[in-house]
Amino acid sequence: EEDSLSPFIRLQEKKKQARLMQKALEVKEEAFKERMKVITCRWRDLHAKEAQLKTYMEKSGSILKENDKMRIQALKKASKERERKMQKESELLRAKRELEALRNKHQKLCNKVQKYSIFNKYLEDVVKISQFEEIQEVIWRYKTLVRMHKDLLQSQRGHKEMSEQAKVLLDQYMVEKEAEILQYQNELVHLQLRFDQAQSGILPWETHWADIQNTTAKKTLKLGTIKMAILNLFQ
């Protein structure tokens, strides 16, 4: 389902991009038309000015210095006009290239829309046999499930990390308790040796031995309690 819906989502995005591209293309075409109008008007003005300049030059032939001065000014002005014309032609060429690039991009988007149209048909069939009323509801449901899946994976990773940390703490605790058990066993062996030595002694040593037995019993009980606690923690 994820593999089939993802292309459709891309299809919807491509459709949206195609609409935006179509609007941009229309704006560019309108701007191109306006530029053509401006350039045409300027061409007319330039021809009119050239005609006026020619007429003026013919009429003012009697005054050489003034004629030279006006001719130089006219040449400068014509040069500026030529520069402006070249600039406008460059802008027009650039606008044509941009328009052609937009048309190519628009055509590519249209081809992609046509390519992914099968997924639109698939979702329409899904809507017909499901409780959904619109394709957008299917997409929203899909996105919700994807988001819930990601949250679930993140939660599982968190629980796994907590479990690993608890296992490490349990291992540390068991090592510490095993060390305590070993210490108690050593003490028990030491007490057993002292008991063997005390058997040959007098009654006070027997009394002392009885105390030692009581202490040993308490420690043995404590040892058993610790073992049970470790077993419960391990389980």
pLDDT in tens, 59-90: 665 666 666 777 788 888 888 888 888 888 88
pLDDT of residue 203: 65
Residue 204 lies in a domain: yes
Question: pLDDT tens across 155-198, in order?
Answer: 888 888 888 888 888 888 888 888 888 888 888 888 888 777 76
- C-alpha distances in Å from residue 178, one per residue of 133, 199, 232: 66, 31, 15
Residues 14, 85 within the same domain: yes
Above 60 in pLDDT, residue 5?
no
Residues 76, 156 within the same domain: no
Q: What is the maximal distance between C-alpha atoms in the chain?
A: 159
Residues 19, 89 within the same domain: yes
> 119 vs 79, which has greater pLDDT?
79
Q: Domain limits at 66?
A: 7-95
pLDDT of residue 22: 85
- Averaged pLDDT for residues 97-117: 81
Residue 69 lies in a domain: yes
Backbone φ, ψ for residue 79 (5° rounding) = -65, -45
Say which residues have a Cβ less than 8 Å from residue 219's Cβ, sequence separation at least 6: 184, 187, 188
- Averaged pLDDT for residues 198-210: 67
Above 80 in pLDDT, residue 4?
no
Residues 25, 77 within the same domain: yes
- Is 0.95 topped by the overall pTM? no
Cα–Cα nearest to 37, from 45, 47, 27: 45
Q: What is the mean pLDDT of the chain?
A: 79
Residue 115 lies in a domain: no
pLDDT of residue 146: 86
Q: Please answer whether residues 18 and 110 qualify as being in contact, where contact means their C-beta atoms are separated by less than 8 angstroms.
A: yes
pLDDT of residue 13: 83
pLDDT of residue 159: 81
- Averaged pLDDT for residues 200-215: 74
Residue 105 lies in a domain: no
Residue 227 lies in a domain: no
Per the structure, the count of domains in the chain is 2
Above 60 in pLDDT, residue 135?
yes
Q: How confident is the model at residue 1 (pLDDT cuts 50, 70, 90)?
A: very low
Backbone φ, ψ for residue 63 (5° rounding) = -110, 100
Residues 89, 154 within the same domain: no
56 token code pair: 């003026």
Q: Is the torsion defined by CA of 226, 227, 231, 234 positive or negative?
A: positive
pLDDT of residue 88: 85
- Averaged pLDDT for residues 102-128: 76
> 179 vs 56, which has greater pLDDT?
179
Show which of 95, 125, 151 is a domain's final residue: 95
What percentage of the chain exceeds 70 in pLDDT?
85
Residues 22, 68 within the same domain: yes
Say which residues have a Cβ less than 8 Å from residue 132's Cβ, sequence separation at least 6: 126, 138, 141
Residue 75 lies in a domain: yes
pLDDT of residue 64: 62
- 3-state SS class at 61: coil
Residue 160 lies in a domain: yes
pLDDT of residue 60: 60
Residue 229 lies in a domain: no
Our CA dihedral for 34, 38, 44, 45, rounded to 10 degrees, sits at: 160
Residues 87, 149 within the same domain: no
Q: How confident is the model at residue 136 (pLDDT cuts 50, 70, 90)?
A: confident
